[in-house]
Amino acid sequence: MLFALFESSRSALASIYAHGLRSFLTTLGIVIGVASVIAVVSVTEGMSSFIGDTFASLGTNSLTIQSYTPFEDQMKGIRARLTPEDLELIERRVEGIASITPLLAASRSSQIKYGSQTAFSQIMGTTYAYQDVSQSYTQVGRFLAQSDNLTRRRIAVIGEKVRENLSLPENPVNEYVEIGGEWFKIVGMLEERGDIMGMMSLDDIVLVPYATMVSLQGNQTRTDIQIQLSLSESAEVEDVSQQLTILLRNAHNLRSDEDDDFRIQTAEQLMEELDQIISMVTIVVGGIVSISLLVGGIGIMNIMLVSVTERTREIGICKAIGAKRHHILMQFLIEALLLSLLGGILGLGIGFGLGTLISNAIPGFPSASIPLWSIALALGFSGFVGVLFGILPAAKAANLDPIDALRYE
């Protein structure tokens, strides 16, 4: 049996080599299908790995609380809010918190000016605790202090991207910028953190004292803040989340049948949600491009049927000198399998090359990577396609009558 398998494989390879161009064109559908799938998977896996590393750097002991309003209520003009009173309540009543800070986004304009330069940035009001919660520290100058918040000082800490957009000096400390029609003195610049997949800069941010931002917005604006906090080493995320949920539901007078009007998210939960989205995109796109694998399988079946017709006399001679039905069946089935697997291997290389090319073409995009499961799946599916579409030609060859085959011209 092993000898028959070896001879069938040798004969199949010889036949593929003898018709090299035809074999390549036959497997082109498999090559394109596998290359497309691998390119998609390698890019999305690289993206997923990068997102995991990004959120891991934020730490697993941080929580973000923000208001949440269902779309139906938004259409009715209803808006849920987190207020400074909620912040004070959490500070007093929730155990296990190491640091906590509010975040208040500029509601009127995100425009910042320096001389003749104008830029749009993420302008946030926060406190000195922000650097501990978000692990963001200054590379030059200082961070916001408690006294800055108490006295509502017009000072700002900026990111590297803001400095570049406004053409500020390498050391922008003591320079003045205009925010919301008022002048702010720059007291520090944050350490550079880079981009997320080349699309969103983590350095395009301006931080001002929280109380200063409140005064800029005035009394006409109903404040809606985000709350970020980090936990002490002994605290459990689930326990703190449960405390926060009970406390905020009671504070907002929500009935037992009403949904939360806030969301509590951890860095780990955000990462899981993004992973689910990426996985869904990978499955959908991979399913679409996998159709070309079936097209490639039909091409293999077509050429194998042609090959059976071309080699009818050869099959008759083999049967006349003692070849059994299963020997002929094995020979043609192995040939179809090898055609498909060779196309799969070629597609793997091309797919990884395409993924690497796409990743390198986008600035800041994570490097492509191929997980082992995708290699096994691509080759396994290629082999399955080869066997599935090779059965009919192999069966046709095995069922030929030796006398009729010898007579064939």
Mean pLDDT of 267-281: 72
Q: In this structure, are residues 330 and 8 in contact, taking their beta carbons and an 8 Å threshold?
A: yes
Query: Residue 115: how many CB atoms within 10 A of its CB?
Result: 12
pLDDT of residue 47: 73
pLDDT of residue 190: 93
Handedness of CA 201, 176, 119, 218 (dihedral sign): positive
Mean pLDDT of 282-311: 74
Residue 294 pLDDT class (50, 70, 90 cuts): confident
DSSP per-residue string spanning 67-123: E---HHHHHTT------HHHHHHHHHH-SSEEEEEEEEE-SS--EEEETTEEEE-EE
CA pair distance 351, 348, nearest whole angstrom: 5
Q: Helix 325-361 to helix 312-320 angle, to the nearest 10 degrees?
A: 140
Mean pLDDT of 215-224: 73
Residues whose CB falls within 8 Å of the CB of residue 261, separated by 6 or more in sequence, listed in order: 67, 68, 69, 80, 252, 254
Mean pLDDT of 393-401: 74
- How do 155-158 and 182-190 pair as beta strands? parallel
Assess whether pLDDT exceeds 90 at residue 269.
Answer: no
CA pair distance 217, 221, nearest whole angstrom: 6
Q: How much is the pTM?
A: 0.63
- Sorted by where each begins, the domain ranges of the chain are 2-54+277-407, 81-260
pLDDT of residue 261: 85
Lowest-confidence range among 57-61, 149-153, 194-198, 359-363? 57-61
Mean pLDDT of 55-81: 76
Assess whether pLDDT exceeds 90 at residue 63.
Answer: no
pLDDT of residue 154: 94
Assess whether pLDDT exceeds 60 at residue 133.
Answer: yes
